[in-house]
Structure 1
Amino acid sequence: MVGGLQDREAEGGSRYDVLHTDCPARGVVDHVTSRWGVWVLISLRSNDLRFFELRESIRGISEKMLAQTLRALVQDDLVWRKVEPTTPPQVTYGLTEFGREVSEPLTELFDRITRRLPQSGGVNRRYLADH
């Protein structure tokens, strides 16, 4: 696939081969598509959130996994982190410009999926009762 996703030109004229295990872009893709990375990016699409608000918005995530996921996404420059010098410190997270670009197609993907889900039958009835 010439010029496609697998073989993109990087700054400085070198090429990224995202199918190669050593490709730096592959690490970012792994973090975005990790079990919790997608949900963090989706949760931050509409608002900046404090740590506990983010944890509450993503049901099923532990504090440990949220902290690890946020650390990776901050390192990849997808999410920014702001610490307020209070006692205890208030930590707020939001999407960087890069994070917004990456999360946009994820939001579209979930919108398409939820539009296609049947209103009954295959959908978890407990979820429907809660919402």
Structure 2
Amino acid sequence: MAEYDRAAHLKAIHTNRKTNTSQKVDEAIKRLIRANEKINFNSVASEADVSKATLYNNKDFRSRIETLRNQQSQVPTPKQVKREMNESNKDALIASLKRKNQKLEEENKQLREQLKVAYAEVYKKL
């Protein structure tokens, strides 16, 4: 029977586990990006089903998550974009509403004139 090398076997197991963990974390980050979710240590750990300590202790994981987290914090949220758009477009919106209001007032005036004419015709027929 061949000699059993325990150290080599443990090294192979460790390497295999490390590879699996790395794949799980990469897939989890990709899923979070596709789903447009927040990327932080908690979300990646729960999505990849690994401990936060694993993410913190691995320099590659840690730097990648911190980079993605910082990138996301710099991108404004949809609510912030909408709020800024409302503030910057306030004058244009007011002008548009004034034009619409004036157009409706003109239309209302024309309809009243048409109504007067119609009443006059009905009155003549009586």
What's the TM-score, normalizing by structure 2? Answer: 0.29
Which structure has the larger Rg?
A: 2
**Structure with the largest fraction of helix:** 2
When normalised by structure 1's length, the TM-score is 0.29
Q: Higher RCO, 1 or 2 (CA under 8 Å, sep at least 6)? A: 1
